[in-house]
Amino acid sequence: MTRSPPPARRRYRAVFAVGVVVAGFATAALLRPGDPAVSAELAVIGRGTVEDTVTALGKIQPRAYVDVGAQVSGQLMRLHVKVGQMVREGDLLAEIDPALQQAKVEAGRAERARLTALLDELRARADFAQAQLARQTALRRVEAGRGESYDQARMEARTAAAQVDATLAQIRQTDSTLQADEAQLGYTRIYAPMSGTLIAVDARQGQTINSTYEAPVLMRIADLSAMTVWTQVSEADVTRLTDGMPLYFTTLGHPGRRWTGRLQQILPAPPKPVTGGSANGAASSGGGTGASTVVLYTALFEVANERGELRPEMTAQVFFVAAEAKDALTVPVAALTATDEASGRHSVAMIGEGGTVVTREVRIGVRDRFNAQILQGLAEGERIVVGWRTDDGRPPRIGFRL
């Protein structure tokens, strides 16, 4: 068994290590009496990927979905589905008590039968009146009849024809009403308008449905094989986005997984704010007596979801890639001092021959928050100074020796 050293020996080792460090700094100070003691953070130029991205948050929603509502009032007699169930277009979802609608249809059919019988009677009367008019017309030609009889026959023929036309109009009106009643009867059986997954069912069997003023939503069907990400981008960044630019996103439930895609659309106007609070398209911030409003625009893109890993209402951390450099020489942004920002020229402090710190001008390309691509001025393996601190608070002289 290995035995740990006694506490006295451990304290001795710790004091000895600290003493070595202090002695090293003291020796360095003696070798460079004119320079302040320096603590430098160095970095070695290497290769990596640099991405210039616009970051935003988004909500994942089904690409295609439909809210299924009830178009008639009545008691929900049967509910044939449940949440999470897969349905196909045309499947029976629910049934509403059809008693009231069935009664209206029966009344309409009876009224149409009555009007059809009346029409037959009126047509018979019209045919008789037309025959009477023909006889009176013949008698009038040979001057054998009276003028009053002819006028009477002509009036009765026209009256009979008008009654036939009125009854035909009533039949058409009854047919229209009957067609509407039959449609209402058909609405008591609710069918799936599309294939997909039932992601919400808001009704219960036995519930009374009231659709007098608006159609109540009973359930939602969504196609989860493809999702749309609704991303909120601030007005400061939205001008950097272009249709078709590459992007990727992550979710809280899959921290090690990246989904890729391309930007498809940027809505021209932000969502309308909600009265009394911040909308999903605008956020208010500020303190004291004033407040500022951040305007957010909606950017949309689609992503395949064959395995069903993405679910509605998931939060997505989206990265729109404005520029990218792979396998590039990289330098920490903290090491750069801008000399000509427009042309990408900066200066860096690097370790020269013999450990001397010298400045060198470099030109950078793509940059992100932490690193920048080196296009000119540095080579792989060279050491640069990222930051330093002196004992008197002043920066060290360029050209001193580490």
C-alpha neighbours within 13 Å on the C-beta side of residue 101: 20
Are the beta carbons of 385 and 356 closer than 8 angstroms? no
| Nearest-angstrom CA–CA distance, 136 and 144 | 9
- Sequence-separated (6 or more) residues with CB below 8 Å from residue 181: 101, 104, 105, 108
Give SS3 for 37. Answer: coil
143: left (phi over 0), alpha (psi -120 to 50) or beta: left
The string of DSSP letters for 113-124 reads HHHHHHHHHHHH
Q: Give the contacts of 318 (CB within 8 A, at least 6 positions apart).
A: 55, 56, 57, 58, 229, 231, 247, 248, 249, 299
What single letter denotes the amino acid at residue 7? P
Contact 247, 263 (CB under 8 A): yes
Mean pLDDT by 10 residues, the chain (402 residues): 44 35 35 52 90 95 93 93 94 94 95 95 93 84 75 90 95 95 94 94 90 87 95 94 95 90 94 55 44 84 93 95 92 89 88 83 91 91 81 56 52
Q: What does the pLDDT read at residue 32?
A: 43
Query: What are the helix (H) ranges across 234-337?
Result: 235-238
Q: Rounded distance, CA 320 to CA 58, Å? A: 12
Which pLDDT score is estimated for 143?
Answer: 74
0.85 surpassed by pTM: no
Q: How many helices (H) and strands (E) does the chain have?
A: 4, 20
